[in-house]
Amino acid sequence: MVNTTLCYIEKDNKYLMLHRTKKKNDINEGHWIGVGGKFEKDETPEECLLREVKEETGLSLTSFRLRSVITFISDEYETEYMYLYTADDFTGELLECDEGDLHWIDKDKVLNLKTWEGDRLFLTKLINGDDFFTLKVRYEGKKLVESVVHQY
């Protein structure tokens, strides 16, 4: 199994979104997602979050919150446990990302972007300000075939 983090950085009622257009053999190619990535050896979720955000954006988070743990199950890829965060304060200047193009997108327009079906489920909950939740999504190919949410 794979452990990852994903973060939606907030500013002026917008999320920083990454349009994945540059990485070779990218499962997320063409999709809009937050920023994050895979754990390195012995990293905590927070350490992974801070490192990945800094690497992909140039920003250093100063305020962030764990919003969900999401289990991705696929008939094509290994199971992934993703720690989903939002962040509302940071320092630094936005840099160019080598995985795609970063854009500040109004929260009310995020769901109009090309995203994974499962991502739409948790993005809706983030935008609505829901408290901590867990989500299980199961894909067959690129099609979402199951989703189970638990609200806490």
State pLDDT tens for residues 102-120.
Answer: 999 999 999 999 999 999 9
- Answer yes or no: are the C-beta atoms of 85 and 64 closer than 8 Å: yes
Task: Find the range with the poorest average confidence among 22-26, 63-67, 68-72.
Answer: 22-26
pLDDT at residue 27 is higher than 90 = no
Residues 6 or more apart whose CB falls under 8 angstroms from that of 101 comprise 18, 19, 21, 22
Judge whether residue 152 has pLDDT over 90: no
pLDDT in tens, 10-22: 999 999 999 988 8
Contact 30, 108 (CB under 8 A): no
Q: Does domain 2-151 have CATH number 3.90.79.10?
A: yes
pLDDT for 50 equals 98
